Amino acid sequence: MLSRRNFLTAAVGVAAATGLAACAKEDGTSAAAAGSGSGSKAITLGFSQVGSESGWRTANSDSVKSAAKEAGYTLKFSDAQQKQENQISAIRNYIAQKVDVIAFSPVVVTGWDAVLKEAKAAKIPVVLTDRSVETSDDSLYVTLVGSDFTDEGRRAAKILEKVLEKAGHKGAVKIAQLEGTTGAAPAIERAKGFKEVMEADHADDWKVVVSQTGDFTRAGGKQVMAAFLQSNPDINVLFAHNDDMAIGAIQSIEAAGKKPGKDILIVSIDGVKDGFVAMSEGKINAIVECNPLLGPQLMEVVKKVKDGETVERWIKTKESDFMQDQAKDALPTRKY
């Protein structure tokens, strides 16, 4: 999806997207150049958020809002309730309001070129956070501040190896996969990374017997897992693209008289507090962390972009992985 670019591309991207600011910067008339010593008071950031579908998203929104306040920015924030059309109209509003920078977490990867061209025409730079987009023109956004979801999928498969070994699992590994929102970068890329490791190292003993979206929500995870258990009662592993769907699935697993974490081993992604609680109760076996606390990094990037500085094309978030026996100690340290 998004391949890493060196900062040279970003420099071109920034110049193209902020031609006026770049020109103004040279002749000193842009707000940033004129008041570059005035810090960030002058920055108005328009932010379109995916929605409030999961604990991860709530933590992400809180991080963006608190970091913008801390930085002294004027933040215009909108919740798209997981609808692309709401994000597109929010971005159009920000363009009309002539914000300094637009940032958003795109709910799905496609369908953004038109509105991003409008932002470029208005000389408003766009920063992606969390999720990436597919676009025909690299200059339509300056950078992505977010995780490597394909690597998260690979990490999920690698930690499943440890979970199976620790459980002393013998025989076939029959995997149910709860996918994220259809068309969303994390759903596409986590599935891709997991499949890469499965096909390379476990072609003969692992099989994804059923896979369906639960839309990253607890209700979705619960509903789809119940259907999985009806159609495939011999599932012995669940790979959930996020903790909220895993937590919903646990309710269906228990309703079916099975023990989550024992009869069905569970590997999930995010690392929200409730995921750690479930892990400490022995119901989730391992979690691959996906850090939502992107706010501070985002505000730093927004300032640099506003000032026409070069930034890397992809600013990756740092994250780690947790096995069940680490949950209790880690819980008090969790920030989201």
Binding of ligand GZL at residue 130 (CB under 6 A)? Answer: yes
Q: How far is the CB of 250 from ligand GZL (least distance, A)?
A: 16
| Beta carbons of 14 and 201 less than 8 angstroms apart | no
Give the Cα separation of 32 and 223 in Å (integer). 51
Q: Which stretch binds ligand GZL (CB under 6 A): 48-56, 68-76, 156-164, 279-287?
A: 48-56
φ, ψ dihedrals at 136, nearest 5°: -85, -10
| Inter-residue contact 47 to 69 (CB < 8 Å) | no
Residues in 239-258 that interact with ligand GZL by CB under 6 A: 242, 244
Name the token pair of 4.
Answer: 């890493």
Q: How far is the CB of 244 from ligand GZL (least distance, A)?
A: 6
**By CB under 6 A, what part of segment 184-213 binds ligand GZL?**
186
Stretch that binds ligand GZL, among 50-58, 136-144, 153-161, 305-313 (CB under 6 A): 50-58
Instruction: Rule CB under 6 A: choose which of 131, 154, 303, 313 binds ligand GZL.
Output: 131
**In the complex, minimum distance from the CB of residue 253 to ligand GZL, in angstroms, rounded to a whole number:** 19
Stretch that binds ligand GZL, among 49-57, 133-141, 273-281, 325-333 (CB under 6 A): 49-57
Q: Shortest approach of ligand GZL to residue 56 CB, angstroms?
A: 3
Nearest-approach distance from CB 186 to ligand GZL, in angstroms: 4
**Tokens 């061209």 sit at which residue?**
117
From CA 232, how far away is CA 131, in angstroms rounded?
A: 32
In DSSP notation, 238-250 reads EEESSHHHHHHHH
Per the CB < 8 A criterion, the answer to whether 218 and 244 are in contact is yes
Residue 128, strand partner residues: 104, 144
Window of 14-22, 51-59, 94-102, 274-282 that interacts with ligand GZL by CB under 6 A: 51-59
- Classify the C-alpha dihedral 121-124-125-130 as positive or negative: negative
Distance in Å, CB of 336 to ligand GZL, minimum: 11
Q: Coil, helix or strand for 103?
A: strand
- Please write down the long-range contacts of 87-92, taking CB distance under 8 Å and 24 or more positions apart: 87/48, 87/50, 88/112, 88/115, 90/46, 90/48, 91/46, 91/48, 91/115, 91/116, 91/118, 91/119, 92/118
Residues 264-283, mask of contacts with ligand GZL (x by CB under 6 A): -----xx-------------
Whole-number minimum distance, CB 269 to ligand GZL, in Å? 6
Find, among 175, 283, 284, the residue nearest to 232 by Cα.
175
Among 47, 56, 94, 141, binds ligand GZL (CB under 6 A): 56
The helix-helix angle for 243-255 and 55-71 (nearest 10°) equals: 160
Residue with Cβ nearer ligand GZL (120 or 131): 131
Of the two residues 244 and 321, which places its CB atom closer to ligand GZL in the complex? 244
Min CB(49)–ligand GZL separation in Å? 10
Using CB under 6 A as the binding rule, the residues of this chain from 143 to 182 that contact ligand GZL are 147
Closer residue to ligand GZL (CB): 160 or 240 = 240
d(CA 256, CA 133): 39
Residues of the shown chain interacting with ligand GZL in the complex, contacts defined by CB under 6 A: 53-54, 56-57, 130-131, 147, 186, 216, 242, 244, 269-270, 290
